[in-house]
Structure 1
């Protein structure tokens, strides 16, 4: 055990839903004292930075009930149990945008809120997009508006808080950094 690690003494599951579960853990702290941790368990997710041949970013506008507002995001979705992240990314891209791609590459994986959740997002970049005939349909409770924006328009969407989630802001910053490195 590292000098920072917390040892789990007891786990109590409070809720188990279709997307998340919530548990409370009694832990022993590095100094020997005890504390409680509220932890959300999540199966993980993927996000896709999809670029058109003219370097526009494919995004979706979607109402997010937890925020009580509509925001603009890159295509993304939850991993199904045992699902390969790359296959999930291809599926989500097709379901949310109607696009497939000739090339999809993993960029990075990151935790969204490590203070209380174990959700990890695997970010991919998709290029050489093509429209998929008879594309897989979105989940029946999912409604989106498809958008294609330039990097400059995406930066403005971040500034005016229409892009307001970490995975999409991360993707936009990735593109900004790539441009800065090429100059």
Structure 2
């Protein structure tokens, strides 16, 4: 039996007004005036995000697919689990299936939902759904226009070592690998 975290006072903040400060192709920045629990008024700025998926794709029980990709905001290459943005009206599992083919060139015979990650709760509503995939068949990748990445196999113990060494620093990837190593098929 698990122990539940404690309940506490209600710190809900209530919106008084909202405006769209920036409307981008991927992200939308909102600026809201809110009432704090103590009655004071404050501002909150946050990013609306369409949501994303991330995939632990297993070539065998100990080997997953990873990607090496350049990320412009950090001006560096990163090692990541396959992931992608959810398109409007697309169910998250369908996004995961699409992204696995597009980025990695694989279809999977078995899919299951592993966990939900909310990576930026202080400034974004982004949710990342983590899926597992097994029974992979190579069908050839179909990268999006302008997308450049290298997909490669890695043993889970190697990926854990790369986390320790600071070679993997992407938070969502670290979460996915560590979650699997801690809970795996036991969840």
Once the two structures are superposed, residues 10-61 of structure 1 have per-residue CA deviations (whole angstroms, 9 ceiling, x without a partner) of 1111111111110111000000001000110000000000010262110110
Deviations 1:134-163 (A, max 9, x none): x46111121101111111210122123221
2:165 to 150, 160, 163: 160
Instruction: Map 1:83-122; keep pairs closer than 5 Å.
Output: 83-122=90-129
SS of 1:115's equivalent in the other structure is coil
Counterpart mapping for 1:135-154 below 5 A: 135=140, 137-154=142-159
In the alignment, which residue of structure 1 is the partner of 2:178? Answer: 173
Residues matched between the structures, number: 178
Structure-1 residue corresponding to 2:38: 31
Give 1:165 deviation, angstroms.
1.5
Give the 5 Å matches for 1:45-124: 45-53=52-60, 55-124=62-131
How large is the RMSD of aligned CA atoms in angstroms? 1.7
Runs of 4+ in 1 over 6 A off after TM superposition: none
Between stretches 49-58 and 62-71, larger displacement belongs to 49-58
Equivalents in 2 of 1:3, 1:60: separation in Å? Answer: 42
Q: 1:113 to 1:179 in 2, by over 3 A?
A: closer
Aligned-residue offset at 1:172: 1.1
**Separation in 1 of the partners of 2:103 and 2:165?**
24
Q: Structure 2 CA distance, aligned partners of 1:67 and 1:136?
A: 26
Alignment counterpart, residue 49 of structure 2, candidates 29, 42, 65: 42
Partners of 1:179 and 1:104 in 2: CA distance? 14
Superposition TM-score, scaled by structure 1 size:
0.92
Gaps of 5+ in 1: none
Aligned mates of 1:61, 1:178 — CA distance in 2: 25
